[in-house]
Amino acid sequence: MAASAAAAIASPLKCGLISSQGFSGSTRSFQWRKNEKRNVRKASRGVITAKIDLRPPPYSLDALEPHMSRETFEYHWGKHHRAYVDNLNKQIVGTELDTKTLEDIILLTYNKGDLLPPFNNAAQVWNHDFFWESMKPGGGGKPSGELLELINRDFGSFEGFVNEFKAAAATQFGSGWAWLVYKANRIDVGNAVNPRPSDEDKKLVVVKSPNAVNPLVWDYSPLLTIDVWEHAYYLDFQNRRPDYISTFMEKLVSWDAVNSRLEAAKARAAEREEEEERKKTEYEDNQADLDAREMYLESSDADDDSEAD
């Protein structure tokens, strides 16, 4: 895969809050406030506000036929995904969120699970972008290389992973999503309680999420997703969700995309580790300086006392 294509696939993982700051701090001070007047003032000064775009799938709308029909895409992307984008833009215009990235909007409005109004539309926009890029014409089959090695390590076998992923997608009650994620840490994040705190770090995990929730809010790195809202499969499979899930796994999954995302997730985890190590060293150096200064002051005081004697 060309580097630019790999970067494009991995791009949904790029997030200012995640990559440079983590969650803590950024979510605590945010207050949702719709302020149309502010927007009017900004517009009158000619300031351009950020706009979330409706990104097309990275293939034509009939490219996944016969497994996912053009008609499904015309509704799913052309109407549902478009509505999430349009509604989100209406919600954030004139607010503090209109200059944020989509990922930052998701994290800020998750609000520790007490969802703020734009969360559902923002997360659904991100989820659908990610879902389209999780598939490709001629997809399916089996991954290879390090991705397959990690799948074998963390699920016992590729078949073990497929069974767990299918079960998560089939048992998500009502609307939602199933995910393969790279879980880099086990600590609770500022924004949410980690749903898998006892698992090992740096491993692949399958999770499911209701409605619009996605694993970014748990500080996990998503690698693959399937949309199990009925609008994703009803035209092609009616109520046969298990058949849709099997078709997705066998004919549609883009393992190239998953591979690129895994590389990005590992790089992000390594960057964080380096940053944490740098902060720890800086703290220890500062502490050593303080200790040395205290010892110097104490010895100076002792010298003064002995001279006075």
Our finding on whether 130 is near Fe ion (CB under 5 A) is: no
| Comparison of 79 and 90: residue with beta carbon closer to Fe ion | 79
Least distance (Å) between residue 150 CB and Fe ion: 28
Find the binding residues for Fe ion in span 230-259 (CB under 5 A). 232
Q: List Cα–Cα distances, 159 to 69, 138, 148, 165, 283, in angstroms.
A: 27, 20, 11, 10, 46
The CA distance from 217 to 210, in Å, is 13
Q: List Cα–Cα distances, 172 to 8, 111, 207, 215, 227, in angstroms.
A: 29, 23, 10, 15, 10
Q: Which of these, 165, 250, 182, lies nearest to 10 by C-alpha position?
A: 182
| Comparison of 10 and 232: residue with beta carbon closer to Fe ion | 232
Least distance (Å) between residue 141 CB and Fe ion: 24
Least distance (Å) between residue 48 CB and Fe ion: 30
| Comparison of 232 and 253: residue with beta carbon closer to Fe ion | 232
Tell me how many degrees the CA angle 15-20-23 measures, rounded to the nearest 5.
75
| Comparison of 181 and 232: residue with beta carbon closer to Fe ion | 232
Find the binding residues for Fe ion in span 212-231 (CB under 5 A). 227, 229
Least distance (Å) between residue 6 CB and Fe ion: 25
Instruction: Give the binding-site size for Fe ion (rule: CB under 5 A).
Output: 3
- Asked if residues 27 and 107 have their Cβ atoms less than 8 Å apart, the reply is yes
| Comparison of 216 and 232: residue with beta carbon closer to Fe ion | 232
Q: Which helix (H) or strand (E) holds 22?
A: none
The CA distance from 125 to 103, in Å, is 10
Least distance (Å) between residue 278 CB and Fe ion: 41
Residue nearest to Fe ion (CB): 227
Residues in contact with Fe ion by CB under 5 A are 227, 229, 232
